[in-house]
Chain A
Amino acid sequence: MEHPFEVSYLRWIVLLPLLGAVVNGILGATLQKRFGKNAISLIACSVVGVAFLCAVAAFLHILRLGPEHRFLLDTLVAPWIHIGDLKVDIAFWVDPLSAVMILIVTGIGGLIHVYSIGYMHDDESYWRFFTFLNLFTAAMLTLVLGDNLLLLFVGWEGVGLCSYALIGFWYKEHANTTAGNKAFIVNRIGDAGFTLGIFTIFWGLNSAGHGTTPVFRELVPVAHYLQTVSVWGIPAATLAALFLFIGATGKSAQIPLYVWLPDAMAGPTPVSALIHAATMVTAGVYMMARMHFVFSLAPVAMNVVATVGALTAIFAATIGLAQNDIKRVLAYSTVSQLGYMVLGVGVGAYAAAIFHLLTHAFFKACLFLGSGSVIHAMGGEQDMRKMGGLREKMPYTFMTFFISTLAIAGLPPLSGFFSKDEILWKTFSGGHPFLWLLGFAGAGMTAFYMFRQVFMTFFGESRADHHTQHHLHESPPVMTYPLIILATGAVLAGFLGVPAALGGSNRFEQWLEPVLVGGHGHAAHVTEHAVESLEYLLMIASVGIAVAGILLAYQMYYRKTLSPEVFSSAGGGAFYDLVYNKYYIDEIYQATFVRGTLALCWLGANFDLYVIDYLVNGAARLTAFIAWLNGWFDNLVIDGLVNAIADGIFAIGNRLRQIQTGSINVYLYVIVGAVAAAQFLPRLSSEMLMPVLIAVVIALAVVGVLALLSARRPLWRPPILRGDAPEPH
């Protein structure tokens, strides 16, 4: 691990799909108009195809390296965020874990791209679909290839965005966009938790004085220092694990944040297959496996994870029992299967969880694409009650769907058996018999509802209307070939991880061991010896309950010897109602969280409108009142004084102006008189000069006051300026 093998082709695994998205996103509308839809899909599929080849190359590359050196690194943007001691680059890495993931994403993703060529063929916004599909692939690859937490988070948010855009792909329907919003917002809750998890790790290591790196390979050796610091009395490791798990519950649709996934079925079916079954929803599981070194430090958090996983597995399975929408059944099944993966993580069986992730990607993608094929043939009908008898009409779809159903039901030797059993066994052997029981019951339900689906859809008499029946057809090869490949994978993938108890060597676990070292420790050593018989027993039990589930479905929906009424009316139908209405969880969330938030909003807005604005306006009113008082004072007192003085002066002037006779003779007399009088001034002694001057001033003042008293208002009018008033010509 110390010496990463530097390569420069990993970037293309991410950049090629991104390039496809950019080209199609900017030029797509034009290309589609000029060169037709094939140009769009050619670009979109070829970039993913080449990315797949790069992924295979990377896989072969690390295969050649020794188990301890399986590690490639490709640094794309060198100083990405370098602040203080935080140094993060955009760098991609491939280790055994991410190698598995990129093969799933590009491989299964590529098949789904090909399938979409057929499925979306009649859609006007063909280019937009492939743009987002490519963008999603790029984001998902960033998520799994990122060599640090922040880059993982970039991909994490990116896939969320694409999921939003693709769920609401047919945006003219209000329900679709609402489902998109729901998916995004619920995921955001998880994202907030996830970011806090990142921060906690960063802070914890910083406080413990052991660097501040978010890079995985640098975190592994120092992670245990997270136990040395705590916040709110919780060790940082536990808190970080719990926060990260909140992120995982959002993305991987666990209780309590699973509600978005069933609604997400509003998107086109290839989207459901790619994003909401094979890849994006497994991101949470991948992330927890990636961060196993933190989870392993926090037994409390691990117990929470395991419990939530097991509860989700059975909870979603019960809802799946009563759904009639072909995609919704698959959606709840996905939630349930994700629950198994999370359970695997929770009991420390990271490799088993990733193994189940891999097999699930095959069979669930196949199931979704198969259901898409059915919906395509049925002209958009998704209600299984209106299907039936499609077996003859759609042989390829039926065969692949059936094989995948067997796989998910956990029948040996199909892939689902190996992976699910591995998780259940690790749960049991890890000391969680109750959780094992939940998972075990869930397995039976899974078998039941999946075969219920198969029987309702493909067997019996067709319940579709005449028009639809007339148009029934098998899907084109571009859609069936991916189905066949995926079904093959669903059969064969299990052999990668045949457990030791069945004579295999569990190669998958060995493959991941360098990455997950120390992770599965406490579960692994129990399996060493003497418990193999117990393992056989549990295997037989889970196969048995799966067969029981299948037989029950066979009786109820194929032979119809047993009416579903028997169960649905049990307990006065209350239980059935509860399950059919998905435990009213959506309604409860709506009534509490959504309404609560809206009430807060209302409060905030009104606070802003009334309190803040009133405070401001109140301050303004107060100021205005003071200003009014001031104005009053100004008008009456200050202005009164000023006006009185002005009036006095005007009055004096009014009297004095009479001196101005306008007669030159008078002026001349005054001048002569004054000159004559002036002859006497020098003769006045200096003592006399002042009294005389004062007497003159007093005389003038008396004249002024008299003039003031005798004046009639207005003493003075503003002069009318010439030109002011219009003059008649």
Chain B
Amino acid sequence: MSIALLDIGLRHFLLVSLVVFALGLYCVLTRKNAIGILMGVELILNSANINYIAFSHFSSGRYDGQIFAIFVIMLAAAEAVIGLAIVLGIYQNFATIDVEATDNLQG
């Protein structure tokens, strides 16, 4: 166990998580590329994972946080599959994956 590690507390983890979330959110909101948006979503999910593990570690010390994190990873994988399938579908229909171009649902 290194001392530096001992110094690192919950707060640090949350900070990292916040950064990753912010980056993800920024990515989601600004990207025009659908795959980029998906990547932003992955970042958001992972920031949530960090939170889960951190909170779990610093509160109960049991593994429920980790379990949730693994669940989220699995969910992210599934979501990526569907997301990429949608992207492929969009590409087939519009010959682009620019989300600005696909506004057919406009009212």
Contact = CB atoms under 8 A, between A and B. Distances in A.
A663 B29 contact: no
A657 interface: yes
Contact of B99 (A656, A658, A660, A665): A665
A672 interface: yes
B103 A662 contact: yes
B100 A660 contact: no
Contacts of A77: none
A658 B100 contact: no
A669 interface: yes
Contact of A664 (B25, B37, B107): B37
A657 B100 CA distance: 19
Nearest to B106: A662
A669 B102 CA distance: 17
B28 to A, nearest CB: 6
Contact of A660 (B32, B37, B107): B107
Contacts of A660: 105-107
Contact of A658 (B32, B104, B107): B107
A679 interface: no
B42 to A, nearest CB: 15
A662 B29 contact: no
Contact of A663 (B25, B28, B103): B103
A661 B106 contact: yes
Contacts of A665: 29, 32, 99-100
Interface in A646-689: 656-665, 668-669, 672
The 3 residue pairs across chains A and B that have the minimum distance between CB atoms: A660-B107, A662-B106, A657-B107
Interface residues of B, number: 13
Contacts of A658: 107
A659 B25 CA distance: 22
Nearest to A654: B107
Contacts of A656: 107
Given A663-B99, A663-B100, A669 B107 contact: no
The secondary structure that dominates the A interface is helix
25 contacts: A656-B107, A658-B107, A659-B107, A660-B105, A660-B106, A660-B107, A661-B103, A662-B102, A662-B104, A662-B105, A662-B106, A663-B99, A663-B100, A663-B106, A664-B37, A664-B99, A664-B102, A665-B29, A665-B32, A665-B99, A665-B100, A668-B28, A669-B29, A672-B25, A672-B29
Contacts of A663: 99-100, 103, 106
Interface residues of A, number: 13
Nearest to A666: B103
Contacts, number: 32
Most chain B CB within a 10 A radius of its CB, from A657, A659, A668, A669: A668
Contacts of A668: 28-29
A656 B29 CA distance: 24
Interface string B28-42: 110010000100000
A661 B29 CA distance: 15
A660 B106 CA distance: 5
Contacts of B107: 656-662
A368 to B, nearest CB: 108
Contacts of A657: 107
B34 to A, nearest CB: 8
A663 B37 CA distance: 13
Nearest to A657: B107
B86 to A, nearest CB: 11
A667 to B, nearest CB: 9
B36 to A, nearest CB: 11
Given A658-B107, A668-B28, 20 more contacts: A656-B107, A657-B107, A660-B105, A660-B107, A661-B106, A661-B107, A662-B102, A662-B103, A662-B104, A662-B105, A662-B107, A663-B99, A663-B100, A663-B106, A665-B32, A665-B99, A668-B29, A669-B29, A672-B25, A672-B29
Contacts of B99: 663-665
A176 B32 CA distance: 109
A215 to B, nearest CB: 99
Contacts of B25: 672
Contacts of B104: 662
Interface in B42-97: none
B107 to A, nearest CB: 3
A650 to B, nearest CB: 13
A508 B28 CA distance: 137
A659 B103 CA distance: 13
Most chain B CB within a 10 A radius of its CB, from A658, A661, A663, A672: A663
B2 to A, nearest CB: 37
A663 B107 CA distance: 11
A672 B103 CA distance: 19
